[in-house]
Amino acid sequence: MVSWDGHIVPFIVTVLIWFVATGLVAWADNRDAKTFPKSLMISGIGGILGLLVILAASQSVSVLAVYAAFIGALMVWGWHEVGFLTGAAAGPRREPASPGLRGAQRFREASATVIHHEVVLALTALLLISLSWNLPNQIGATVFVLLFGLRLSAKINMFVGVPNSSAEMLPPHLDYLKTYFGRNRMTALLAVSIVAIVLIALWFGSLALSASLGSAEMVGASLLTTLCLLGALEHLFLALPFRDGMLWGWAFRRPARTPASQANVIDTNE
């Protein structure tokens, strides 16, 4: 039986937070570079507060604590996203791909553009897992690990190649990352990724439907189900001719790129 408080409300809350938070991050990272230190400071404060919220909420299994841990994990995630998209934590390589890259060399160069960010995400995930180990409420750590997995899957798929790799919301100062994208094509990896994410969503959904009506377990599983469905949707966007700006165009306004600036994006895909 579908519950309003246990299923519908968590779904609505997750979608609204996803939409607004994504837009705010895009807005902060597409502003003038001189505003980046302030954005990093604000997001850093939010990330630390989010970590404290997760620690406090992990001690309780109430519905309110589940929502608090969920929001805390998104605050920590948002901090990392701002750090990456402002270029503060990306990787040692910050230039377009070398011409004619193939195989392992292409992977090494591409990895060098994001490795610092990936390491920090992995360490944060391990920190949250260790802090919430054996505690009654582990939603915060679960949400962060789930987001990490979904984002890593999207990055790998874009490296291999997807039909739609426009990445409209990528800030201009990170345009060089596009030179590491695979050529526009549908791959088995993308299809398998979408199916796998949907299956995980169905598993969380089954937990939500079988949990006690209105319980914290029901709410937590519903939140995770919705996150997985949104992750599947974002992967589906990679397969369809969908423009990110259609959803979040309100969040960023940037000058039109000149032909000269567009020419700096070198196509080195396989």
pLDDT digit string (tens) for 115-169?
A: 999 999 999 999 999 999 999 999 999 999 999 999 999 999 999 999 987 666 7
Whether the Cβ atoms of residue 33 and residue 173 lie closer than 8 Å to each other? yes
197/53 Cα distance (integer angstroms): 28
For residues 254 and 64, the model is more confident at 64
Radius of gyration of the chain (CA): 19
pLDDT at 6 (0 to 100) = 83
Which tokens in the block code for residue 171?
């800030």
For residues 251 and 56, the model is more confident at 56
Task: Assess whether pLDDT exceeds 70 at residue 191.
Answer: yes
pLDDT (average), residues 4-26 = 89
* pLDDT above 90 as % of the chain: 62
User: Largest Cα–Cα distance of the chain, in whole Å?
Assistant: 60
pLDDT at 183 (0 to 100) = 87
For residues 29 and 127, the model is more confident at 127
pLDDT band at 269 (very low <50, low <70, confident <90, very high): very low
Among 66, 77, 61, CA closest to 135? 61
pLDDT (average), residues 224-232 = 96
pLDDT band at 270 (very low <50, low <70, confident <90, very high): very low
209/218 Cα distance (integer angstroms): 7
* pLDDT per position as a tens digit, 231-263: 999 999 898 877 666 776 666 665 444 443 443
> What mean pLDDT is reported for the chain?
88
pLDDT (average), residues 68-81 = 96
Whether the Cβ atoms of residue 31 and residue 254 lie closer than 8 Å to each other? no
Among 194, 173, 170, 192, CA closest to 181? 170
Whether the Cβ atoms of residue 82 and residue 40 lie closer than 8 Å to each other? yes
